[in-house]
Amino acid sequence: MTTLTDAPVIELEDLRVDFGKRRILHDLRMKLTGRAIGLLGPNGAGKTTLIHTLLGFHAPSAGTARIFGRDIRRDAKKIRASIGYMPERDSFIANMSCVHFVRLMGELSGLPASAALERAHEALFYVGLGEARYRQLGGYSLGMKQLAKLAQAIVHGPRLIFLDEPTNGLDPPARVRMLELIREVRDSGLAQIVLSSHLLRDVEECCDEILILKDGRIAAQCDLEEERRSNRKFLELETRNAGENFAEAVAGLGCEYALTAPGRMKIVLQDGVEVRDLYKIAAAQQVQIRRLNYKRDSLEDIFLKAME
């Protein structure tokens, strides 16, 4: 694998896709830069069409897109060599052994035959199929097939990996293992990820940026890391024996606050102010902090707002 550049992972430039007279994607314009980008939206939102267009399966009807600065119209062949794709639906040759299937996918991605076979063994051991790599794919369980699809997506060392519903149908232990592998790939710093899933929890656990589509349009874009950082600044306090002096002391730290009910207040922490500073004030004034919660906009909240 080669190291990543500073170019945006994906740039959408008025990207439009029509199937006959039906418009699927409506002039999408966006730059995505995250290590792991979550692609969300209800059924029919255009998620799979967007992925297939970026992969070169569908030609744009208007506009274009870039992957690491390369135009999908002009540089399709070079782009394909640098990306991996784990499809939602199985695309196996049932009577072929897994190692030879993954080797074939490596060759189709541009690896020489000998290197492809070596990398196939490495990829299968990495995902946990080393002991079963010579078995025919037709005899694999659902969880093993998902791991085989991940192995063929990473065998050639891509810089960007598209994962379409990678945990679809998996039991809880297999789902946990799949998400661990996805995070390992993300944290390696050698490949970035686009994860399309209808499971918000999977996206929240793996991604630092999300793009939400609705009816072929961009409904929302969100930097989850920034959301997580900003949420640490918003507190809800439930206190006992707190009077005006406590509120004034909080304001003296430079914090904004609002009294929402007797003994309850909301506080916005300023830079340089920590939670322990509130406890110091409480101790000095003999105020009991009975409960302290961080405000947290979950991905579900963000998604529901986008759907509205």
Q: What is the mean pLDDT of each run of 10 residues along the chain (308 residues)?
A: 61 94 94 93 91 92 94 90 91 90 93 94 95 94 94 95 92 93 91 92 91 93 75 78 86 85 84 86 90 72 78
Task: Identify the pLDDT of residue 1.
Answer: 40
Domains of the chain: residue spans and CATH: 10-224 (3.40.50.300), 232-299 (3.30.70.100)
* H or E element in which residue 164 lies: strand 160-164
pLDDT of residue 3: 42
Tokens coding 270: 């300023």
- Report the sign of the C-alpha dihedral through residues 198, 132, 153, 208, in that order: positive
Residue 270's pLDDT is 79
Percent of the chain residues past pLDDT 70, beyond the cut:
95
